Structure 1
Amino acid sequence: MKFKNLRFGRSARLGVAALGGLGVAAMAAPASAATDVETAFIFNTLSFLMHGFLVMWMAAGFAMLEAGLVRTKNTTMQCLKNIAIYSVAGILYYLIGYNLMYMDVSGFIGSFSIWSAADPSITADGFVGEEAGYAAGSDWFFQMVFVAATASIVSGTVAERVKLWPFLIFTVVLTGIIYPIQGSWTWGGGWLSEMGFSDFAGSTIVHSVGGWAALAGAIVIGARKGKFVDGKVHPMPGANLPLATLGTFILWMGWFGFNGGSQLAMGTAADIRDISSIYINTNLAAAGGVVAAIILTQVMYKKVDLTMALNGALAGLVSITAEPLAPAPGLAVIIGAIGGVIVVFAVPMLDKLKIDDVVGAVSVHLIAGIWGTLAVPLSNGDASFVTQIVGIVSIGAYTFIFSLIVWTILKVTIGVRASEEDEVDGLDKAECGMEAYPEFGVGSQRM
């Protein structure tokens, strides 16, 4: 069996089913079971591709969410950053990221080499048999869309004041080096995997990593002009809440690919059963996050805050991502609801610390991601709280320190922050030379 393409930190799921649904009987009698092997190969590959393009659709969700939660004068910039993020992530994961994460991992790091598909047993004449149980290219595609999601998290936090090219340079480092190295520690079979750290689909490996990188950026870049004045927080509401709501629903839908595809196989009845359970728990956790955020904001502020409800959904999704299969549905609701509660308290807490997070990404992806990873032992008997804490702390320290260094280097060399004049005018004009809503611009009002 080839193990290099598999995510190691998933306990029993790396058994027969996760290795392609080949089955003991099929491996013992390959001639008579050739059809079953080929069928499993096809369905496993289809699962990676189908769930992968659902995760890719999350790029649209991030773009719409961020475009709705920034002011009109920065909307074009957010859309540009998000399509650039997805493109940069794909190229970097091809050039260096995938093999650094999965190829010949020796404890802490993989191989510095360009990825290439290797399916020698699949020829133009037909299927001969593939020991991994799926096409190598389908696995690469599925892993690639995950790293793109990580980078999108950073975009929202540092919106409205970061310059385009320094941000894209950071994206290169994040997607090509930072993310793959820490990912190899668990999903690549590295040292955290050997300890028993468990993160099914990436509450820490994907979401908290994005959150730590975003937090480092927010600290180095600083807050938007006018956000914190004389010790007071001045709200800067988003310009298009319907667009932000659409983005949240797109992310919610994409999350079924995020968590469901992380079953890593669809070649047996057991796999399909587990994917169904994952979908149910993923949906219920998001619902729990929304309801908890709605109730809590009504109690605390006497009004229901839509943005908190949207982030409550995302926090619920992040919270269940570390273990979406093992919990009973009722527990999934509770896990998601706690994520929703966390967001309602975390967003104002960051404001008190004078950390300007435009879309609440640090609260959603970092803090709720930590909670979700800690919650794994509640339903997964193979995980321990001590090991989960070790994984959270080690990945967090590595990502935050590495990101802080990169952001600082960019700041002292080429600069990361837009000028005060550009920030006031908006980055759409300053960085892109166009406005998302030109009919409502200053120039149109003079006509």
Structure 2
Amino acid sequence: MTYDDALDTMFIIYGASLVFFMQAGFSLLEVGSVSIRNTKNILFKNLMDVSFSTVCFYLVGYAFLYGGNSSFIGGTAFALQSRAFHGSDRSDDAEALRGVNYAKFVYAFAFAATATTIVSGAVAERFRFKAYAVYGACITGFIYPVVAHWAWSDDGWASAMRSKSNGLLFSSGVVDYAGSAVVHVTGGLAALLACVAVGPRVGRFNGNHLVEMPYQSPVFQTLGTYIMWFCWYGFNCVASTSLSGGKGVLAGRSAVNTTIAAAFGGAVTMLMDSYAKHQKLEPRRMNNGILCGLVSISGSAGLIEPHYAVIVGSVAGIVYPTASKILLHKFKVDDVVDAVPVHLGGGVWGLLAASLFTSSRAYLTKYDSYVDDGETPCGLFMGCANSGAILGSNFVFLLAQVSWVVVTCSIVLYVIKRQIGLRVNLDDEVKGLDQSQHGGRSYTEFQTTVFKFKTASGAEHSMEMRVRAGDAAKFAMALSEVMEGAAGGVADVGPDDSVKGAKISRVFINNQPVESESESDYGSSQHSKGSRGESLRAASVFAQMGIQPVPTSSSAGAGGDVVLNMPPSALKPVREEWRSSPDDSPSRDEAEMKKKKKRDKRSDGRGRNGVPLDPFADAQNAV
């Protein structure tokens, strides 16, 4: 084994390890972006991505990508059964080459898994698990390898590694250094089609009004972004595939350009948001600006000078918020993690940037099979004799890629929809996929609830309680104590049955009052037995039903009201138990039934994305 072969083997394994660890970054980013009710589901999908990607890529994906015999799709080396891995030659040189090939397999697999994982975050919280497994397997095992074969194999029809004698597209071939188009446009376009096919989450759009959905943690989102930024050095630097033959300069320049583009992408996104109307400065937006910069620089990381990386990252910082706003507000595409504007938008710009700024010298270093005949191609703005060749090749390749991905993904989604179904049922979506598909919520041992309230005098109080799951008695006791404090003790009842000496407080669930009476009934004989009595009855019902508060913030309403956030899955049993109480009047039930019929008629009976309903409506209407 030569020194160069050993070094290249370790270099590629290093890059493959970083790209593989990018899955951890994706997982954290996606967990932080979804509701706490879907934590297990998104983690399970990311684990499945890696496992299924390995199986599919090993059996067929690698063969479709690097197998020979065709310019359209590979046809050899299924399950790595080829001379490149199992030749009869046992010389040191042959064994050294096999080591490099094995390392390249792992590196290529990590890229394929990345393209598939892009989809998981975009369609989170409503995509059926089996449907996603089939869709991901098709992307990793067939759709992505064909695109990569066109651009990166020696036989691909658009590859820059083909010899001129075999027909080099526009005498340059497609230039996509580390996969802005091959990886990210493929994954982003597959995610877009899946989002359109499955539709938005329940409650995301209320008519023309955009409703902000709960997400778990900006801490996870930001930590995931940092991990992905770190792993991107393996993504871009190791795309040179070697440190010999002068290619070390490509790796070093890739590291510099990756850093610059990511930083400018995040900075420009933050700058745009600071001047945009009705847009607050949020960590997740800057996170996505950074990621869009990383995606965009991937197409040309080792081929352009650092001052051009400033342009690439800055434009990426404009592409992301612009594409995100158009998709969400105009086309109403519900992409949970903004994967489509980051990967599809950033990927298209990255491929265009490679067409504009690639230098002839860097092209020759990267594609060393090209014979310099005085017409070496370069970017459109670089002033060489063949400056438009790369632009032409990249444009044709992008058209072919988009056509391929749209057609194949649409067929796969159609078949899945007919045979399996794309979307989980409405009750499962409202309850959360952890509860309905993965054995319960992620955080079940201890739950923290914070009660904040004001007394009649205006003094603010709060109480924090950590309870074990199922410890409903303590929860009921704590609620009764809070209500007693909020009401200023037991209220005196006058001869006319009106409340004296205390400010009536109410329990709120998801910002809706629990009491059966309207506010106009306050002081009437039925309600005046004391708001605390009503509250204690609510606490008793909660205790009997074994309901626990979700670990999200609870805050006081105006005038001493205690606001309590509860999971939507708890609403139906509470409603039924409450209505079964002898204190409720039949007239209210009849009125509620009339209101429900009107709501059902207005929402076409589906209860999806309609006007937010009160918490005692059917569970299928809880949003």
Q: Match for residue 337 of structure 2?
A: 359
Shift of 1:274: 2.1
Alignment correspondent of 2:8: 44
What residue in structure 1 maps to residue 85 of structure 2? 118
Deviation (angstroms), 1:434? 2.7
- Partner residue, 1:12: none
Counterpart in the other structure of 1:284: 260
Aligned AA for 2:337? V
Q: 1:207 to 1:190 in 2, by over 3 A?
A: same
Q: Is the 8 A contact 1:182 1:395 kept in 2?
A: yes
8 Å CA contact 2:11, 2:238 repeated in 1:
yes
Unaligned 5+ runs, structure 2: 160-167, 360-376, 378-388, 449-468, 476-546, 549-623
Compare 234-243 and 244-253 and name the one that shifted more: 234-243
Contact 2:288 2:338 in 1 (8 A): yes
State how far apart, in whole Å, the 1-side matches of 2:392 and 2:88 are.
Answer: 43
Q: Distance in 1 between matches of 2:157 and 2:33?
A: 39
1:318 aligned onto 2:285: no
The alignment partner of 1:357 has SS state of coil
Greater gyration radius: 2
SS in 2 for 1:375: helix
Name the CA distance, whole Å, in 1 between partners of 2:299 and 2:311.
14
1:369 to 323, 334, 347: 347
The reply to whether residue 73 of structure 1 matches residue 65 of structure 2 is: no
Aligned-partner Cα distance in 1 for 2:99–2:251: 17
User: Residues 274, 384 of structure 1: CA spacing in aligned structure 2 closer, same or farther, 3 A cutoff?
Assistant: closer
1:59 is aligned to 2:23: yes
Residues 1:130 and 1:245: Cα distance change in structure 2 (over 3 Å): same
Q: Does 1:141 align with 2:119?
A: no
Secondary structure at the counterpart of residue 191 of structure 1: coil
Letter in 2 for 1:242: V
Match of 1:106 among 70, 75, 82: 70
TM superposition shift of 1:131: 8.1
Q: What is the aligned partner in structure 1 of residue 275 from structure 2?
A: 299
Listed as ranges, the matches of 1:389-400 within 5 Å are: 389-400=395-406
Q: Contact 1:69–1:241 (CA<8 Å) still a contact in 2?
A: yes
Letter in 2 for 1:340: G
CA drift of 1:153 comes to 0.1
User: What does residue 238 of structure 2 align with?
Assistant: 261
209, 220, 227: which one aligns with 2:197: 220
Contact 2:266 2:287 in 1 (8 A): yes
Q: In the alignment, which residue of structure 2 is the partner of 1:250?
A: 227
Q: What's the offset of the Cα at 1:119?
A: 5.8
Letter in 1 for 2:85: A
Using the size of structure 2 for normalisation, the TM-score is 0.63
Q: Pick the aligned partner of 1:415 from 412, 418, 421.
A: 421
1:328 deviates by: 1.6
Deviations 1:99-138 (A, max 9, x none): 1111114111111622245264874xx7245685852211
Contact (CA 8 Å) 1:158, 1:357: kept in 2 or not?
yes
1:440 deviates by 4.3
CA distance in 2, matches of 1:323, 1:371: 11
Distance 1:437 1:337, change over 3 A: farther
| Structure 2 CA distance for aligned equivalents of residues 303 and 100 of structure 1 | 46
> What's the CA shift for 1:365?
0.3
Per-residue displacement from partner, 1:152-207 (whole Å, max 9, x unpaired)? 00001100000111100111111111111111111123111231111111001000
The answer for unaligned runs of 5 or more in structure 1 is 1-36
1:167 corresponds to 2:173? no
* Preserved contact between residue 150 and residue 206 of structure 1 (Cα < 8 Å): yes
Report deviation, 1:384. 2.6
Letter in 2 for 1:285: A
Distance in 2, matches of 1:131 and 1:274, equals 23
Structure 1 runs (4+) deviating above 3 angstroms are 119-123, 128-134, 439-447
What corresponds to 2:591 in structure 1? none
Q: Distance in 2 between matches of 1:68 and 1:385?
A: 38
- Secondary structure of residue in 2 paired with 1:67: helix
Q: CA deviation at 1:437?
A: 2.3
C-alpha separation between the residues in 1 aligned to 2:112 and 2:69? 18
8 A contact 1:44–1:133 mirrored in 2:
no
Please say if residues 295 and 304 of structure 1, whose CA atoms lie closer than 8 Å, have aligned partners that are also in contact.
no
Deviation of 1:386 after TM superposition, in Å, equals: 2.4
Distance 1:320 1:128, change over 3 A: closer
Alpha-carbon displacement from aligned partner over 1:28-60 (angstroms, at most 9, x marks no partner): xxxxxxxxx610000111111011000000011
Count of aligned residue pairs for this structure pair? 408
- Residue 26 of structure 1 is matched in structure 2 by none
Hey, what's the Cα distance between the residues in 1 that align with 2:72 and 2:338? 31
Tell me by how many angstroms 1:309 deviates.
0.2
- The alpha-carbon deviation at position 233 of structure 1 amounts to 1.2
Match in the other structure for 1:205: 182
8 Å CA contact retained: 1:163, 1:431: no
Residue 68 (structure 1) shift: 0.4
* Contact map agreement 2:41 2:438 (CA 8 A) in 1: yes
Query: C-alpha offsets along residues 210-262 of structure 1, whole Å, 9 cap, x if unaligned?
Result: 01111111111111111112111111142111001011111101110011111
Give the counterpart letter for 1:367 in structure 2.
G
- Tell me how far apart the structure 1 counterparts of residues 111 and 282 of structure 2 sit (CA, whole Å): 30
- Per the normalisation by structure 1, the TM-score is 0.87
Q: Deviations over 1:387-436 (max 9, x none)?
A: 21111121012112211111111111111101111110001111211322
Q: Which has the higher contact order (CA 8 A, sep 6+)?
A: 1
